[in-house]
Structure formats: structure tokens, C-alpha cells
Structure 1
Amino acid sequence: MNDNTFGDTRDSTLTAVPTTGNWERDTLEKLVFATVREQRATRRWGIFFKLTFLGLAFFALWAFFDFDFTGSGSETLGRHTALIEIDGSIEAEGSGSADVVIPSLNKAFADAGSVAVVLRINSPGGSPVQAGNIVDEILRLKQAYPSKPIYVVVDEICASGGYYIAAASDKIFVNKASIVGSVGVLMDGFGFTGTMEKLGVERRLLTAGENKGFLDPFSPQSNKHKAHAQAMLNEIHQQFIAVVRTGRGKRLKETPETFSGLFWSGAKAVDMGLADGFGTVETTARDVAKAEDIVDYTTREGLPERVLKKFGASVGAGMVKTLGPAARPALR
């Protein structure tokens, strides 16, 4: 009995040993497989993020360098009318800036397939510097490509700086209800001296240079500074008038109100010689340029350009605030 009992105990012990070994091996195998699966998943995610990063980098480069996969060669575009749009204020940023418009103009004129350039303008005006730079480039391109006309089609409004640009074109087409004109210059700002006196606030401004506080809104406006600002506005106004007179020539029916800063409907602008007739981009391409196919050459800003320009604008605004008055001449 005792032998059998001890024998049974020994037998059960011997059979339990391999069971324990199998459990440890299974656990180790599970740990190894789990580690392998985790490493594979890590590699897959790593590949995914690398491909995503490469895709974003490629897209950023594409946007930054403004690659045009529609092509600009005449062999793919054929005979067409080139279109460039200016929508919004004529400022250092946006579709109305010289940095955006001028490259588009150069592409449009240089393309052998374009027979004419149409500049569609919807702008209330803006910077005389930006408008002047665009006008200078239009005049240069007209000399370089004498057989390729440039037309302007007015959308809702083409006033002040917008009309400054339009006047350099060969012909201007409007809608009868468009707003056209406003040949003038302004410099605006605010004065808070009366309010400060009522509140008992004292302005403490220190300058190096007797005129450095020119047009400071918290200081009284001197007659000398007002006269200087007015003379500068008159000078820029004469530059504007010269561009309009040169561009419109004998078509312009000049009156005392023409350069007063007033604006008119498109129908009235045609009567005054500020515009040549009625039309759209499509009718201008079909009936005037005789090239019905329209190709858009407008430079579209990508994300990197917008970020860089906003950074530059912030720095520039800080410099203007530090070095000069907030008020600046504007064609609007």
C-alpha cells in the first residue's frame, strides 16, 4: 500500500514537471511574438509617417515654387487669351501686390500661344507704390511685345489704385453698373488731442529731429506738417493724372471733375472716356482678342508664401511703427 502510494506520488510529480515547462515556454513564445508584432507595427507607422512627411514636403515645395503643371508652352496651350485677376486692395500682400501681379504678367506675355492679355480688376484701390510698380511693368511689356495687346475688364469696382493700373492698358471694358474712377490720393488718420485734454492725459513724446513726430495722432498738427503732407499728396496726384492722360490719350473727355476723386458708373465712365465699352472676360476674348480659349495665369499663393508674407508683414509693421508715422498716402 505504502509503496503504491509513494509510487503514485512519484508518478504524479514526474508528469507535472513537463507541464510547468510547457507553460513557461508558451509564455516566452507569446512575449516574443508580441514583441515582434509591436516592432512590425512600429515599422509600419514609421513608414507611414515618413511617407506623409515626404508628401507634405513635396506639396510645400510645389506651392512655394508655384509649379504649373498645366504648362506654359505654346505646344500644349495653343492659341489663347491670357487672364490675370486682381481681386481686392492694391497692397503689398494679396492678389493686388506687385510681387504677385508682375510675375503673372511676364508669364502671360512671354507665352507664344497667348495673343492678348486680359487683366480682370475688382479693386477699390490701395498703395500708389504697388500700383506704380505694376504700371511700370505693363508699359515695359507693351514695348517688349508690341503685337500683344493688354485689356482690362472691370468687375464690381475699379477705383483709385485699381484705375491707376487700368489706365495703362490698351482698352478698358466695364459693366454699365461698375464703379470706375476716383482719380485722387488721400492720407487719413485720427487726432486725439482734445480727448486727451478732457481726460487729463499728457503726451510725452521725445524725438531726435524736429519733424520726427510728423503726423503723430497724440500731438497737435502744425501748419508746417500739414502743408508738407498736402504737397506730397499733390505730387502723387499729379503722377496719377499723368498716367491717366498718357494711357487714355484723346479718348479722355476731361472736365474739372475728372481728377477730383469722384467716381462714376460704368456707363458714365464710357461717356467720359474713362472706359472704352462694355464687356466681360469672355466677350473680350471672343470678340476683341479673337481667341476664345482663356488660360488663367494668375499667381495663386501657397501656404508657405502666405506664412512668410505674414511674418514679413509683422516685421514691416513694427519697423513702420518705429521709424515713421502710421499715416501713408493711398489711392483709394
Structure 2
Amino acid sequence: MLKKFLFALVGLLLTGLLAVVILWKALDWYGDQPVVAPDSVDSLEFTISQGESMTRVADSLAELGWLQHPQVLVILARVEKVAGGIHAGDYLIPAGVTHRELLNIFTSGQVRYYNVTLVEGHTLKEVVAVLNKHEKLSSPLDDQAMQTLYKSLEIEGNPEGRFYPDTYFFQADASVESILRRAYKRMSSVLSEEWQKRSEGLPYKSAYEALIMASLVEKETGVAYERGEIAGVFVRRLRKGMRLQTDPTVIYGLGERYKGNISRRMLREPTPYNTYVISGLPPSPIALAGREAIHAALHPKDGKSLYFVAKGDGTHYFSKTLVEHNRAVRKYQIEQRREDYRSTVETQ
């Protein structure tokens, strides 16, 4: 009787072991099988929310027609001990991926990255508007939130120009604040690097004054190769005690009142930024300046020109004397004035 029981017990154990082996092999086979995507679909944009379970992820894929047996994927994830290691984020799942590869995508964090570009010459207001409207960025900032950010970054006075123009990559639902913090840190780093390598004898008391000059160069430059020459004109005017007299500063000082044209009255209107009225640099940058503009401000091109006028094609005519400059003004802004002409440094 005991022998029969033992034989039966061994038989049950062997049967159970065989079943486990068969199930293991079947699960292993399943892991290497491609996910069956809906017809005529090359990929799936899929989002895993923060804290979402493997069961919920599998069910969502099944609802979208990308899994026939979601519970088997959950079992595979548990057997391979990856069920708790999935990362939140946006994913692009290609058709033909196997179930095991799918799990690897989720657990290795192969999330999609998006990007946003902060453009040279744009104001901080324009930059924040772009960030706030980006569909993949979260937590848009209002004026009060911006003030809180400036305080946390220890920015005193006008924050204009303190953020570096560049393309920033991020995962879905990154905050607007996180991009601005990265841009602030990047600007601090770039400005410090360029300031350490500056030319001698520049009329700046600090790196911040160089950044102010860089913003003027950025706004006046239509073609990249003129940055150094434009910076040279501004630097020579500062050294001679001449007013900078550059239109972008007037426009910035006018704010919302600027509607596309500058009148003579506007040029005479006293604002902290009107360089036709004030001497020296304005009190802050007037836009975002890139590394090239910062470099130009710190390495202005040698020469004798003190004036420049827009030629209407993005380039400028540079003059050494007021007489030459006035002739250029008549030629490019009066006799053959075009609608797309750029601003100019005027006479003293």
C-alpha cells in the first residue's frame, strides 16, 4: 500500500514538474514572439503614467489592439522580475517587436524625448510664451510663478537675457520651470567661459555688462559674419563717449507701445533703454544672446568704423565718418528704402 502511494506521489511530482517545464518553455516561446499590431500600423505612440502597474499597462495595450493575451505578458514580466521596473514616459513601439523586447523597452527607460528651442534675439516674454504653449511641457508659469523662479535663482533686477538660447531635450511632462532652470545654468556657464577668455581693454566693468552688449549685437546682426564688426562699432563708441543710438533698445523700452515703426518722438522719449538719450549701455540685456554674440562682444573686431546702416538685405554698410554715414543713409534708407530694412546706429 505504501509503495503504491509513493509511486503515485512520484508520478504526481513528475507530472507537475513536466507541466512546469512545459509552461516555462511556452512562456519563453511567447516572449520571443512578435506583438501582433493592428493591420497597416507601423508603430504605436504609447504613454505610461507615473505609478501605473504592469497589469494596467498590459490591459491598455490590449485595448489598443496590440496584445491578444495581456495576462501572459504580466506573468512573463513577473517571472523575469521586471514587473516593478517599468518607467513612466512616452514610448514609440515599433510593429514587429517581441513581447520580451517590449518589456525591455519599458524597463530600460527608452522613453521618447522632445525638444524646444529658445531662439537668439527673442525676449524672455516670447520665450516663456513658447514654453507655456508646448504640448509636451507641463506646469506653465504665470507672472507670479516667474517671480518666484527669479527669486529662487537669486536674480535681481530685470531677468532679461539671463537664459541661454539653445535646443533643450526633455521627456514628456517635464515642467516649464525645469527648462528655464537649465537655460539659466547654461547661460551662467557660457558667460563665465567666454569672460575668462576676453580681450584686454574692453569697456565693461563685469561679465553682465558684456552680456548686455551681446544682446545688442544679437538684435542688430542680420548675418553671422558681421557680429564682430557690429560689436567693434559699439565698443569704439563707448570708448569715445558716444551714445550707442541703436533702435532695438528704443523698441525694448517702448514695450507694448511699439507697433512696428519708430517715430522721431520715440527716439527722443527718455526711457532707461533709449540709447539715443542715455549714455553708455542700457541697464539690462534686451534679448537672449547666443555664444557667438557673447564672443563678439568680448572680441570686437578692430577697425575705425563708428557708424553702420542697414542695406535692406540683412547686411550693413559701415562708415568711419559722419559724412560717409549720411551718404549711406540716403542711399540705403531713403533713395532705395525697403520694407525689410533693419535698424541702424545713427549720428551722435
TM-score range, shorter chain: under 0.3
**TM-score, reference length from structure 2:** 0.23
Which structure's relative contact order is higher, taking Cα pairs within 8 Å and 6+ residues apart?
Answer: 1
